[in-house]
Homo-oligomer: A and B are copies of this chain.
Amino acid sequence: MTIQESTTARPAGRPRSEKAEKAIIDATLDLIAEGMGVSELTIEAIASRAGVGKTTIYRRWSNKEDLVVDALATLKAPLPPLAGESVRDDLIILLDVMRSEAGQARSRCVMNIAMSDADRYPRLMERFMKRAVEPRKQAMRSTLERGVASGELRPDLDVDLAMAMLSGTMMHNTKWAPAGDLPADLAERIVDAAMTGIGPQG
């Protein structure tokens, strides 16, 4: 600490770096959740809501779009570690992450509002997808391919269609579900139903 810093009066309770970052992210999500479209959102409004100066924001994010991508990404749970043994077990883990995110009404609301702006901000949504969605898709794709190679899945599997089937079935359940209303074994039931199919052969 320099003499300059130690002698400058600082406001009491001034948030330190990490605390400020969290306040900025929360302020961004709050404003979006309150219905503020990405177009209306300003660094000024975020700074004011977070109780920080604009320079504190600009030290971390060079523009609004970078900040929104980071803020939206915090709504997604991190990719869980996979055991890499049973393909069925790994698929259940991957789907269960989607279930765990479903109950969060605020998160769903924010995503809805952000998505309604997607046409106006294609680059933002593209970056968000790349950051928060692509790693999951890649993990599911590798797991399915591993299953084809190991014989745990059918040899002629349409991997893209299988991904749509697993994620889509979970999405269909999470989309309209009241918070926390999904059965704990939903991911397991979806994976097993997808494995055996709905035809008479099961």
Closest to A125 in B: B176
Q: Within 8 Å CB of A116, what residues of B?
A: 112-113, 115-116
In the bound complex, what is the Cα–Cα distance between A71 and B118 (angstroms)?
23
Closest to A173 in B: B164
Across the interface, A198 reaches (CB within 8 A) one of B35, B154, B170, B202, namely B154
Across the interface, A196 reaches (CB within 8 A) one of B170, B171, B199, namely B199
Closest to A171 in B: B168
Q: Does A152 contact B (CB under 8 A)?
A: yes
Number of interface residues of A (CB under 8 A): 42
Interface 9-mer from A20-28, A58-66, A187-195 = A187-195
> Does B198 contact A162, Cβ atoms closer than 8 Å?
yes
Q: Within 8 Å CB of A144, what residues of B?
A: 198
A152 with B200, Cβ < 8 A, contacts A165-B193, A168-B171, A172-B164 known: yes
Q: Does A109 contact B (CB under 8 A)?
A: yes
In the bound complex, what is the Cα–Cα distance between A173 and B156 (angstroms)?
20
A200 with B153, Cβ < 8 A, contacts A113-B116, A158-B193 known: yes
> Does B169 contact A200, Cβ atoms closer than 8 Å?
no
Q: Within 8 Å CB of A112, what residues of B?
A: 112, 115-116, 118
Q: Interface 1/0s, chain A 174-192, versus B by CB < 8 A?
A: 0000000000000001100
Q: Does A8 contact B (CB under 8 A)?
A: no
Q: Interface 1/0s, chain A 136-176, versus B by CB < 8 A?
A: 00000000100000011111111001101101111111000
Closest to A163 in B: B172
Q: Within 8 Å CB of A118, what residues of B?
A: 112
> Does B156 contact A202, Cβ atoms closer than 8 Å?
yes
